[in-house]
A and B are shown apart, each in its own frame.
Chain A
Amino acid sequence: MKNFFKTIRKNKFCYLYLAPFFILFGIFVIAPVVMAIILSFTSYNLTQPPRFVGIANYTALFFSDSIFTKATVNTLTMAIVVGPFSYIGALILAWALNELSPKLRTALVFFIYAPSISGNAFIIWQLLFSGDQFGYINSLLLNWGFISEPIYFLFDTKYMMTVVIIVTMWMSMGTQFLSFVAGLQGLDHALFEAGCIDGIRNRWQELWFITLPQLKPQLMFGAVMSITGAFTVGNVGAMLCGNPSTEYAVHTLVNHMTDYATVKYEFGYACAIATLLFLAMIVCNELIKRLLKNVGR
């Protein structure tokens, strides 16, 4: 015990430097996660003290909440399409960009990255997909004679999911994309020359045996960024198609959670959804880590 205090005192400076960040980090990042897990086993409306209900929230979610089932299917659909696109797509784009001259590359990197930092500007897609003849896409299709009357892209359940996925993809070339672009620029050229001597024949072999193994640290980081992005889609569907959307066609788990907390004040239930989302993201991250071990073999 005496030793313990001695080490603390010896490293006093370290802990002083860590304190501002980690105190706030504890309150606003870690505590919410821990609290979400604990409250997910309670019924809580913010004014009365939480009441322990065991796994009732989870059984309700899985067995008697049909909107939750729908939201889960929607979220998984989006995550399965948008996640790999924003990950593998970003990698392919970064790799292709790396072949260009630096000036052209800088310009294209900016164009591709720009949508991800443009906040709510995705609302412009409402104009493109608008359900009357003034919607740009409808007007093109009408003009070319593909359709005889406008399609309700934002309200017809047949099209809503596709529209939301397209818009989310448009915004998904964020941090991981920059990380891949930067990582590819910093690769060791000696290894490419060695590969050439060792009999690498085309750009695909080069990618798999030389480029990707060197890029592995960036690939790990990018996976985290893509997963968080893919599982937390919610705002796009709600703003383009309304909340709730027609027949909950683009309702996601994030929407469902927000509804239960802000409209119904059932915070325990909302926390159960948050806990499931954390769990899904952690499992997904572990899976990708395992997969990445096989790169270059």
Chain B
Amino acid sequence: MKSKVGAKAYRSIGGNIGTFIFLLIIALFMLLPLVFVVSSAFKPLSELFIFPPKLFPMNPTLDNFKDLSSLLGDSWLPFSRYIFNSLAVTVICTFGNIIFSSMAAYVLSKHDFPGKNILFQTVVLSLLFSTVVTGIPNYIIITKLHMINTVWALILPLLPSSLGLFLMKQFMDQMIPDTLLEAARLDGAGENRIFFSICLPLVKPAIMTLLIYSFQGIWNSTGGSYIFDEKLKTLPTALNNIITSGISRTGVSSAVSLLLILPPIAVFLFAQSNVLQTMATSGMKD
């Protein structure tokens, strides 16, 4: 009998059907443009401009991808250079992000010391300071530190992630029992040992979540105005140049979009359950 009183009580069938149809319409609205990205990427030129347009390509082709590689072959540097830059920056930043955030989160979550609250409150407030807005003053700082056009400008500003620290700290608050750490201390484990061998293994879902967030953010980051040396530019910069060059290259630009969105989406699919586990602890207290 108990099951009837659970979370699914007092539901009308009409309401359930309505909910489902509503969700289906929203999901279609969200999905359809991405379907267009995929289908345009495989459409031959002759099919991109027919009236009325078709949803799926009649004769799928890889021409757009071939055009893309020849377009990139014409640029100043080999394509592999952009890929190497992107991979290097992504790996370094993601690793730094996770380790720095976890270290700071561990101390903020499990230790008491003067200044603790003000530090965490500042991080929470800084969630509002989007990089879009801090971009301009950041440009001044990077100029004054003489880091413009160096690899440091690509890496250092991406390392401190307020969102990463916040999510990690909330997760540790709820998922690591203080008694466990206390027991380890009684057994004579040092703080470094406790952090690396007890704490980190327990926060794997949060680590996966940070991995996804930093991966997405960094993978899509271009270094923008901080970098003008072609040798230091990343893959999205090279590809975005092609995207923004106009409608006549719809097929190629869809191929580019497809290549750029696949990695973040694949990583998210791979770790979706970890992300949801972490998000369950993401709440803020007053």
Contact = CB atoms under 8 A, between A and B. Distances in A.
B223 interface: no
Contacts of B284: 217, 220-221, 224
22 contacts: A8-B114, A11-B114, A18-B107, A18-B119, A20-B103, A28-B134, A30-B122, A32-B129, A99-B11, A100-B20, A110-B268, A111-B27, A111-B31, A118-B264, A119-B264, A120-B240, A124-B40, A175-B163, A220-B283, A221-B284, A258-B136, A267-B140
A28 B136 contact: no
Instruction: Classify the secondary structure of A's interface with B.
Output: helix
A226 to B, nearest CB: 11
B16 interface: yes
B58 interface: no
Contacts of B160: 21-22, 24-25, 28-29
A161 interface: no
A46 B236 CA distance: 28
A47 to B, nearest CB: 10
A263 to B, nearest CB: 11
A218 interface: yes
A14 interface: yes
Given A7-B113, A46-B140, A130-B247, A121 B10 contact: no
A93 B113 contact: no
Interface in A119-155: 119-128, 130, 133-134, 136, 139-140, 142-143
B23 interface: yes
Q: Which of A93, A134, A139, A216 has the most CB of B within 10 A?
A: A134
Contact of A134 (B49, B107, B129, B243): B49
B30 A277 contact: no
A257 interface: yes
Nearest to A234: B132
B49 A32 contact: no
Given A178-B276, A278-B128, 19 more contacts: A18-B107, A24-B159, A29-B129, A29-B134, A33-B129, A33-B137, A99-B16, A108-B23, A108-B27, A114-B265, A115-B30, A134-B53, A136-B36, A143-B52, A175-B279, A182-B275, A185-B276, A200-B10, A225-B127
A165 B264 CA distance: 24
B268 A216 contact: no
Interface in A1-48: 7-8, 11, 13-15, 17-18, 20-22, 24-25, 27-33, 35-36, 39, 46
Contacts, number: 288
Interface string A236-248: 0001000000000
Interface stretch (A56-64, A66-74, A76-84, A201-209): A201-209
Interface string B247-278: 10010011001001100110011001001111
Contact of B27 (A112, A122, A203): A112
Interface in B154-187: 156-157, 159-160, 162-163, 165
B150 interface: no
A212 interface: no
B201 interface: no
B52 to A, nearest CB: 5
